[in-house]
Structure 1
């Protein structure tokens, strides 16, 4: 079997989805040809310029406008603005012959079978045999599309369904056609996971495949439940959001973002094409949805849906009167009971036993979902874990339906189903009779699922490329305190996993980190700092800093900052290689910790930065020192050294945060040639472990502390002070902002020295700590910290 490589792809269709997919291929370094149709008439602007339909600018207008709009959208579809240069645009008349040179052609045109078939007919004339050709349809059966095409076309053709936005949602459904070769399916599954960073799921060719079939069922069943239980839009979004491990946008806000018309299109498709579905009637749209469609209240794209922005206020649709009203807050006693339960999976048994409307809602909701998913096997897939994978990756659920069912207990789930007058599939009862009490089990660090035909637990395939901390935490624990768990990852590598709220770094986390370094130096070869929570770490525990500062315990505060700094220096100067594995938010102290590791293996979706200015201080865990050090390492002979230092100063002073790991290189918080990026977060820890082992095997030598850092002294300090003066004069920053900026300037300039001097890291750390402490005594800083603790937002005072 020859090795297939993807160097160039052609994306046919440049709408929201096509442009988004094009950007994601560009994200991973692939050359992209993006094609769309030629316009049939000129715009007024084109007429005014005297252009004709033959001009290239006109012929490529549709594709260029679509791509430009996509690149401007927020959140951005691209990891770094420069990556857009990997996309070449063209049109389906002048440029279609270029598809002969690509390795994969993907069709993303409008969801109409006749149009798709015309496109495939055109493409086949120019496609080189052996080239992959796929359709990103969300609902049209795959077997209809390849009818009448050649043998080679059909063998290399299947559905590859990305979810929108393609960069952020992880589900990648692969749907075989009647003649798709096994080699093509195997290749796409691995390519999706390894290169595109997705969860690849091979689905059957049934309407809406796996993700949308179950997801749309969930939303439709809610639409009907809202009326039946007389719930408001706010109540449903409160009940179906983060409390059950779903995105903040919950249900109705998500529909607004995706677009009601998109949802209705898929729901209608299921209603028409699944007459045998026992929940067939649920896919019928309730009256209020039909009215919203007629009124074009489709959500964000039309300016109103279930929510509507009026000025600064967001108003809500009353589902009974269909008029917009002020938002009402939603409160339930049952939800209050889960406030102290950190792990979402432990909340489900509490939620279904609630005595109020929320408890009733969860009993009905889960019962309907459990019954539905059990009855979709073997119709849409043979393996239950694929349904869970699809819901987690496509809809951002923390737990799939079968995992939730396991959490409440399989027998309890059956009881809920029967209470609603529904029936689970026969195989669920057979599973219990065969002695299997749950859908999943964990043994020897791997997840097993109940396989229906063999009636026994089989290992979920593909786990060997991953390290799943949930599976090994108990069996591989080496040390634990209230802030961290230290696990043995095998091959001589330890992992430190934070366990604090939002993974903030306080005394317990630091002592756990130091302990892990002690253990690793004595008995292991290397250390990874990584976790699989939503965020790597949002920074130092500012609540603790606030308490000490407010009670004027300055000696304790000084000791706490020094402990943080010493722990970071320990990361850098230990006898073993240290690897940081940041993902999600890596802010403040989380960023500082990463900057002090020997190497960073970052997930592509890492939002990293030194944000301490927002709470009225400067980075005090070595971050200010490190930025001064990194700036000086870039000083080159004949450079204007001040300019380099100023860039690094501004990164901190403006509290810049990268919108991807690639942007973190621009900010200097990641370093080119040293730190690396992994697109698939599931593979991140395995990759971090591999790098730790590689460094250890290559003969790691404990680094020598640096004493050669060139600081510019008064020359830099003067320039910074002039700048902050001007900004304060023009009201661009407040007097307190200026005070913080001047303290930072003092640290990064190395103090008020009369000439450039070589200093040690410790010298800079002492300056940094003094500056941090003096700012912590300021009333305005305490106001900022208090505001952040209360609201989660920075205060400008």
Structure 2
């Protein structure tokens, strides 16, 4: 039976329910969002003479919750207009509407009695065969379906989204006692393909997979931090980006989630897992109990491990909790010798052997915490999952870890990991000994581009299922590379399609990357059919190497700088004018030069989470790699009969002048950075390279021919230039922009107007590129531009001077 999801009902409109509703709306599904009816009027409602029978009152809870979610930052919705796909209602007047839905998702309060009451009501209106799931984070699935019909139980299971539903990829699927296997298979596939999630089939055990391991990790640190005498800042320094974890690390994450929430989950594990060999870890140490008593829950109560306080000058400062006194104090900078030794190591996975191999407090912390974690996860297989890779998948997708615990163990080394377990006073599960006896020294291996993992039942390495839909660059980089330099690796994706993968820091675009791109195009034109530019790092590219630009400008090597800018422009034009189709696959931060590259590809296959924009104003210049030219060209292509062309051009001008960055790929269409009918968006980033390859192949096999070079770009000359100059004068007079901002904007205006031509004219792309390069060069000679670049290099933040 083919099952299609056209409409879902989400029951419960709290933070989680509204987030789930928004994410279904993100992917084009119609959503019915229901919540309870208020039992009393607010003062505002009384003053308006409303009654409890008025619809606006009866839907107040759901409408308020959804409105709050839509205003939150980061936004749960890809585009504001997608919220129109959500219809609200209440559980008394509108519950019968669930009969017309394909999937009902319960997201009410975490109380079994209330959930069972909701399911009883829903069953009276649910159409047989309709999916019905719960988003519980820990209540046993078996308990919730008791007393329900056979059809209900066969189509019922847990579908645990992680908050925020748009951004965290973990989608745990937990079967009930009678859930049909085909329902589980459908949900796994739907989660991956449509919701863009990492679907993980979990067992019906307390806290499932992600929260069982994640809560253990945090609770373990609570106990360890006092033993080692570490401060809050030190733990967050050690457990953040340096080991591939989110910036919020440990204590900031707890503040956001809520200490009370974490304690509730930990208590649930303690009470319901009597055989857990580390059960005592889930009991709270004294300082946590004291915080709970004082309601120091974190962000929700205004104080937790951190507290924001306003000084007499009105400025806010972040204070840190002293774990010994439970008093707040000024933040102290944390530094460790072991961390200093990892600074030259760009890849997180390569840092772990160095981090555990020191003699300072940091190395001891890593040895003990990793040892405890390694031991714990071995005992959870097969308790919470039969396959060890699912634990790694859950931690990466649900907690934002770059590498799961078994992957970290592999990076450290099998025998070394066993040493850490012993040092932490723990023992690994017996199956790890079976591995050792069999001579298997890693949990993962790669063969013929596929990932294999150690299977407990077969006592051998077997392939991770479901890899056919993905291309994993880590798995093919060594075996399929056809060219490499310091900036790129060019891989053969098969079927005549090459991929260019950036390898520079933050994937910046410098001379090595440009050289590699040109080489890839040469290779593709000679022996292949198409080219993809894509990678699987955190970000596609943060733009041009501004450090290189700064050095050339400071040394006044203007001829060399001119040559470098022209090389960038020429490479972008080769992306557009080559004999093979070029596909850009942007994701994450796609800024400046990264955006310009995408603008010049034949097609863009963007991940939904793409934050793209031309941000060069922040460093005192205009887009110089064809971006300014391209926005003028796109404005020209947008002109329609009877348009006020100046207004159209102004929108493209402002996209650059205000350094606008999309908050999703869908917003990029509004900015003119993606083009409807040509560029596409994929929700699951893991599928992006495979999808880009498929489009390159389709274009090649459909008879791709090189497009003719454009000489028909309509520019408006003095008419547009005058309007822009008046606008920048007004902005400066109103103190909205600085004198240097005005200078940059006027340079951009000159380029996008096509110069001071006396009337509207048609010009070539090269004409605009020459204007763009001249403007970029002149700005690069300005002292204030150099100050901006230097400030960005030092702080990572723009300077307004």
Given the alignment of the two structures, is residue 696 of structure 1 paired with residue 700 of structure 2, yes or no? yes
Q: Tell me the residue number matched to 1:105.
A: 104
Q: Tell me the residue number matched to 1:423.
A: 427
Q: Give the C-alpha shift of residue 295 in structure 1.
A: 1.7
Aligned 8 A contact 2:319 2:331 in 1: yes
Structure 1 residues 696-735: aligned runs within 5 Å: 696-735=700-739
CA distance in 2, matches of 1:405, 1:636: 60
CA distance in 2, matches of 1:437, 1:243: 26
Tell me the alpha carbon deviations over residues 68-99 of structure 1, each in whole angstroms, 9 at most, x when there is no partner: 00001100000000000000000000000000
Q: Give the C-alpha shift of residue 420 in structure 1.
A: 2.3
Structure 2 unaligned spans of 5+: 311-315
Given the alignment of the two structures, is residue 265 of structure 1 paired with residue 269 of structure 2, yes or no? no
Tell me the alpha carbon deviations over residues 311-351 of structure 1, each in whole angstroms, 9 at most, x when there is no partner: 22111010100011000000100111111111111111111
Which of these residues, 465, 481, 485, is aligned with residue 485 of structure 2?
A: 481
Which of these residues, 633, 636, 648, is aligned with residue 640 of structure 2?
A: 636
Tell me the alpha carbon deviations over residues 585-636 of structure 1, each in whole angstroms, 9 at most, x when there is no partner: 0000000000000000000000000000000000000000000000010101
Q: Tell me the residue number matched to 2:253.
A: 254
Q: Tell me the residue number matched to 1:155.
A: 154
Q: Give the C-alpha shift of residue 713 in structure 1.
A: 0.1
Q: Tell me the residue number matched to 1:583.
A: 587
Which of these residues, 382, 385, 392, is aligned with residue 381 of structure 1?
A: 385
- Of 252-261 and 717-726, the range deviating more from structure 2: 252-261
Given the alignment of the two structures, is residue 684 of structure 1 paired with residue 685 of structure 2, yes or no? no
Structure 1 residues 203-602: aligned runs within 5 Å: 203-311=202-310, 312-602=316-606
Q: Tell me the residue number matched to 2:313.
A: none
CA distance in 1, matches of 2:263, 2:795: 37
Q: Give the C-alpha shift of residue 412 in structure 1.
A: 1.2
CA distance in 2, matches of 1:138, 1:233: 27
CA distance in 1, matches of 2:714, 2:391: 57
CA distance in 2, matches of 1:117, 1:351: 49
Q: Give the C-alpha shift of residue 752 in structure 1.
A: 0.2
CA distance in 1, matches of 2:48, 2:36: 22
Q: How many residues align?
A: 796
CA distance in 2, matches of 1:196, 1:291: 41
Aligned 8 A contact 2:107 2:136 in 1: yes
CA distance in 1, matches of 2:425, 2:704: 65
CA distance in 1, matches of 2:419, 2:621: 55
Question: What SS class does the counterpart of residue 98 from structure 1 fall into?
Answer: helix
CA distance in 1, matches of 2:38, 2:361: 54
Structure 1 unaligned spans of 5+: none
CA distance in 2, matches of 1:26, 1:301: 27
Aligned 8 A contact 2:453 2:461 in 1: yes
CA distance in 1, matches of 2:518, 2:480: 19
CA distance in 2, matches of 1:745, 1:74: 33
Aligned 8 A contact 2:369 2:424 in 1: no
CA distance in 2, matches of 1:712, 1:377: 68
Question: What SS class does the counterpart of residue 487 from structure 1 fall into?
Answer: strand
Tell me the alpha carbon deviations over residues 655-676 of structure 1, each in whole angstroms, 9 at most, x when there is no partner: 0000000000010011111000
CA distance in 2, matches of 1:351, 1:371: 19
Question: What SS class does the counterpart of residue 309 from structure 1 fall into?
Answer: strand
- Of 326-335 and 285-294, the range deviating more from structure 2: 285-294
Structure 1 residues 635-784: aligned runs within 5 Å: 635-784=639-788
Q: Give the C-alpha shift of residue 414 in structure 1.
A: 1.0
Q: Give the C-alpha shift of residue 378 in structure 1.
A: 1.0
CA distance in 2, matches of 1:641, 1:420: 70
TM norm structure 2: 0.99
Tell me the alpha carbon deviations over residues 231-270 of structure 1, each in whole angstroms, 9 at most, x when there is no partner: 1000000000111110111000111111112111111100
Q: Tell me the residue number matched to 1:142.
A: 141
Aligned 8 A contact 2:223 2:281 in 1: yes
CA distance in 2, matches of 1:420, 1:15: 41
Q: Tell me the residue number matched to 1:89.
A: 88
CA distance in 2, matches of 1:359, 1:177: 43
Q: Give the C-alpha shift of residue 354 in structure 1.
A: 1.2
Question: What SS class does the counterpart of residue 645 from structure 1 fall into?
Answer: helix
Q: Give the C-alpha shift of residue 432 in structure 1.
A: 1.1
Tell me the alpha carbon deviations over residues 409-435 of structure 1, each in whole angstroms, 9 at most, x when there is no partner: 111111111122211000001111112
Q: Tell me the residue number matched to 1:14.
A: 13
CA distance in 2, matches of 1:420, 1:560: 54
Question: What SS class does the counterpart of residue 126 from structure 1 fall into?
Answer: coil
Q: Give the C-alpha shift of residue 298 in structure 1.
A: 1.3
Question: What SS class does the counterpart of residue 264 from structure 1 fall into?
Answer: helix
CA distance in 1, matches of 2:261, 2:223: 18
CA distance in 2, matches of 1:716, 1:571: 29
CA distance in 2, matches of 1:786, 1:605: 29
Q: Tell me the residue number matched to 1:606.
A: 610
Q: Tell me the residue number matched to 1:618.
A: 622
Runs of 4+ in structure 1 over 4 Å off? none
CA distance in 1, matches of 2:615, 2:195: 30
Q: Give the C-alpha shift of residue 531 in structure 1.
A: 0.3
Q: Tell me the residue number matched to 1:77.
A: 76
Question: What SS class does the counterpart of residue 87 from structure 2 fall into?
Answer: strand
CA distance in 1, matches of 2:589, 2:99: 42
Which of these residues, 782, 790, 793, is aligned with residue 794 of structure 2?
A: 790
TM norm structure 1: 1.00
Tell me the alpha carbon deviations over residues 523-569 of structure 1, each in whole angstroms, 9 at most, x when there is no partner: 00000000001100000000000000011110000000000000000
Q: Tell me the residue number matched to 1:3.
A: 2
Q: Tell me the residue number matched to 2:170.
A: 171
Tell me the alpha carbon deviations over residues 141-167 of structure 1, each in whole angstroms, 9 at most, x when there is no partner: 000000000000000000000000000
CA distance in 2, matches of 1:781, 1:483: 26
